[in-house]
Amino acid sequence: MALYEYVTQDQLAGFDKYKYSAVDSNPLSVYVMHPFWNFVVKFLPTWLAPNLITFTGFMFLVLNFLMLAFYDFDFTASAAGHEHVPSWVWVLAGFFNFLAYTLDGVDGKQARRTNSSTPLGELFDHGLDSWACIFFVATVYSIFGRLESGVGVATLYYILWVVLFSFILSHWEKYNTGILFLPWGYDISQVTISLVYLVTAVVGVETWYQPILWHFLYRDLFTFMIIACSFTVTLPMSLINVLKAQRTKTLKHSSLYEAFLPFLSPVLLFVLSTIWVVFSPSRILELQPRMFYLMVGTAFANVTCKLIVCQMSNTRCQALSWLLLPMTPVVLLAVTGVVANESLLLYLWTAAVILAHIHFGLSVVQQLSSHFGILAFSLKKPNTD
């Protein structure tokens, strides 16, 4: 019996008919990374479950987040006059990030190699990817920090949302077209991030204080690249693919309302969290940036996972994520000053969001494992006695 049945019977029936369909046209991925992953997967034992590879890669990103949280909790360590993060931490961060990226690329190949591909594996992979967004964005932020030489916490908040919406665009495409168009920005960003960590270990964070050209700093390049990639590559390509499906009459949803329904909950989450940021009596984002980013990123992952379930089961996306219902009074309590200790309220709400998302994930994995008669982290057959 599942912890809670989040997946309906109609959705389970939809999973039975599901066929994976994806397009990866990124030259870096096609000509460099896939050959590399094909080489790496040969060294993995055939008893190793693909989902275990996926989860291990995700935990390396969580480890990076926790490691940098220990040395740079409030994102001030890279500023002039502050004790900097040790060089060996940046080396580990680069290694762990690339290892996580590699394992994320290898898990599907291991599934095909061991003839163990299932819809659960894809859902597990993409579900963890949606949560991973916050961990690698917050970890990269520590390179520049938030003070005079860095990026403001509010700027990073909006950059985080650009990354989150860029992620959900791919699954919105698939919800409407049935095909997952893998974004170019992901592979480029993962390789770049890993290299930047290693370079930082060698040259020190002081190097990033220097202007590249005139008064254009590396922090400005960091901001510009993320925003430019999203608005000149990711967003246009997503819209083109959906419009192409509409033109060829392969669009899965007939009305604009149904096509754009998956954006309702993410937009409401953005509105609620931004109201908290803008009207916070204690300026909560300045006070607790890491915790606020974690709360937003986890809530977003929960919303996105529900879209992925609907997308894969070919069922209608729910209009409103239930997690936004209790978040509304939480934000009201914060911005009206009814709760004096706003930081404590944020910590409690963040803990509730994380626990709710973990419960959701465990329940869905348990339901699908039971439905398909498989074990999530083993290639052995479950004992039915």
Ordered by where they begin, the domains of the chain are: 9-372 (1.20.120.1760)
Token digits for 24?
Answer: 């990866």
Q: How confident is the model at residue 96 (pLDDT cuts 50, 70, 90)?
A: very high
Lowest mean pLDDT among 57-61, 175-179, 200-204, 299-303: 175-179
Residue 208 has pLDDT above 90, yes or no: no
pLDDT digits (tens, 9 = 90+) for 265-293: 999 999 999 999 999 999 999 999 999 99
Q: What does the alpha-carbon distance between residue 175 and residue 317 come to, in Å, rounded to a whole number?
A: 9
| Residue scoring higher pLDDT (182 or 353) | 353
* pLDDT at position 130 over 60: yes
Orientation of helix 119-144 relative to helix 87-113, angle to 10°: 170
pLDDT band for position 2 (50/70/90)? low
What is the DSSP code string of 325-363? HHHHHHHHHHHTTSSS-HHHHHHHHHHHHHHHHHHHHHH
Average pLDDT for residues 244-263, to the nearest whole number? 80
354: pLDDT strictly greater than 90: yes
pLDDT confidence bin for 224, thresholds 50/70/90 = confident
Partner residues linked to 216 by β-bridges: 213
- For residue 228, the model assigns a pLDDT of 79
In the chain, the percentage of residues whose pLDDT exceeds 90 is 69
| Average pLDDT, rounded, for the chain | 91
